Structure 1
Amino acid sequence: MIVYGIPNCNTVKKARTWLEENGFNPEFHDFKKKGITAEKLNAWCDAFGWEAVLNKKGTTWKKLSSDVQQMVTDQKTAIEVLLQNNSAIKRPVVEVDGKPILISFNEDQYKVVFK
């Protein structure tokens, strides 16, 4: 299991804490330090939809120019923006055996998936 995110993100902290308290010991991938690939973003977009992977409610998105925001109309353009602004990725993303299974943190959803 790999949890992708940023260590100081409250949602990532909640997800990691929940996983650890429930007996999981996931690897953590800090995509601010380790980066993220277009291939990985495409897999997440295929699994969840690009609109779910791109966090339009976050500060990073809101700070982007309106020109950049309006440019994002599909998966390809969303990934281009996310590669340049990886803090705009919805987080955390949890993968098991290399497959993306969860995005964000919802305790009820985690209970269903991991119990």
Structure 2
Amino acid sequence: MSATITIYGIKSCDTMRKAMKWLEAHSVAYSFHDYKKQGIDTVTLKQWAQNVGWEKLLNKAGTTFRKLPDSEKENIDESRALALMVAYPSLIKRPVLDREGEITVGFKPEVYAGLFVVN
């Protein structure tokens, strides 16, 4: 029986395309959740944050974060970060791979190879 795999992100993101191409090349079945179109809820983000930490989820290097007013960026804690990520899904690092509750943030071929049996 195969694991249920969902990859979360934004279709237009280059890193997302690389991750999905890797999954397809290695015959890993997955479903794609575009949180720019489908949104993301606080409950899901809280679960991810418990799993990997909110700091790892928040993309501070991206344009969306840099464009936020300084008042939004100062003294960020978990609840504020989660609220910002719900309001601006582009703030979530990509991709987020959910393998039956096991969360992996970002894409590195060697990490994905360790998650899946690669022939």
Bin the TM-score by the shorter chain.
Answer: over 0.9
Residue ranges of structure 1 left out of the alignment (5+ in a row): none
Which structure is higher in helix share? 1
- Residue 5 of structure 1 corresponds to which residue in structure 2? 9
TM-score normalised by length of structure 2: 0.91
- Residue 18 of structure 1 corresponds to which residue in structure 2? 22
- Point out the structure with max Rg over C-alpha: 2
- Residue 42 of structure 1 corresponds to which residue in structure 2? 46
Counterpart code for 1:39: V
- Out of 71, 77, 80, which is 1:77 matched to? 80
Please list every run of at least 4 consecutive aligned residues from structure 1 whose deviation after the TM superposition is greater than 6 angstroms: none
Do 1:38 and 1:83's aligned partners in 2 also have CA atoms closer than 8 Å?
yes
State the Cα RMSD in Å.
Answer: 0.9
Measured in 2, the distance between the counterparts of 1:80 and 1:35 equals: 13
TM-score normalised by length of structure 1: 0.94
Do 1:43 and 1:100's aligned partners in 2 also have CA atoms closer than 8 Å?
no
Residue ranges of structure 2 left out of the alignment (5+ in a row): none
Counterpart code for 1:114: F
- Residue 30 of structure 1 corresponds to which residue in structure 2? 34
Measured in 1, the distance between the counterparts of 2:86 and 2:75 equals: 14
CA positional deviation for 1:25: 2.0
Matched, 1:52 2:61: no
CA positional deviation for 1:71: 4.2
Measured in 1, the distance between the counterparts of 2:72 and 2:36 equals: 21
After superposition, the C-alpha distances for 1:44-85 in whole angstroms (9 at most, x for unaligned) are: 11111111100001111011011100041x211110111111
CA positional deviation for 1:100: 3.7
Size of the alignment, in residue pairs? Answer: 113
Measured in 2, the distance between the counterparts of 1:101 and 1:50 equals: 12
